[in-house]
Amino acid sequence: MDLDIKKVSAKATWEGHSLTGLELDASVAVLRDDLTGQIKQSLAELREEVISQLDELRGELTSGLDAEQEARDLDMAQMEDGIMRQISEASIAITFDDAPLRASLSFPDHPFW
């Protein structure tokens, strides 16, 4: 099936006035440019809002991770202190034991010693 279109014409009116093809093209171009500008502005605003929210989330995550790291460091320090106390108690028990073999452990840099 072949279509042979030789001439396409359109008539348009705007606010009651007939528009020629050139006027119609110009009107469409103005509308297109206006919509393009509005879309670009909306996208720029949306981009700024997304960046702002991402920065806020990054801050929350960072502070959450910092708090988690501090808690882990505190837990580790408490575990180390507990282990050192056990070693200290074991050392004292061995040192004051009546067994023929006496031993003592020394950790001069540790606050318990």
pLDDT digits (tens, 9 = 90+) for 8-60: 445 555 556 665 555 556 667 777 788 888 888 888 888 888 888 888 888 88
Answer yes or no: is 6 within a domain: no
5 within a domain of the structure (yes/no): no
Q: Indicate whether 61 belongs to any domain.
A: yes
β-strands 12-14, 17-19 pairing: antiparallel
Q: Is residue 2 part of a domain?
A: no
Q: Is 84 exposed, middle or buried (0-12, 13-18, 19+ CB in 10 A)?
A: middle
Tens-place pLDDT, residues 67-113: 888 888 888 888 888 777 766 665 444 444 455 444 455 555 545 44
Q: From CA 6, how far away is CA 53, in angstroms rounded?
A: 56
Q: Structurally, how many domains does the chain consist of?
A: 1
Residue 41 lies in a domain: yes
Q: H or E stretch including 12?
A: strand 12-14
Residue 70 lies in a domain: yes
Helix (H, G, I), strand (E, B), or coil: what is residue 108?
A: coil
CA–CA separation, 61 vs 58, rounded Å? 5
Q: Is residue 106 part of a domain?
A: no
Gap between the Cα atoms of 14 and 20, Å rounded: 11
Residue 53, in any domain of the structure? yes
Domain that holds residue 90: 20-95
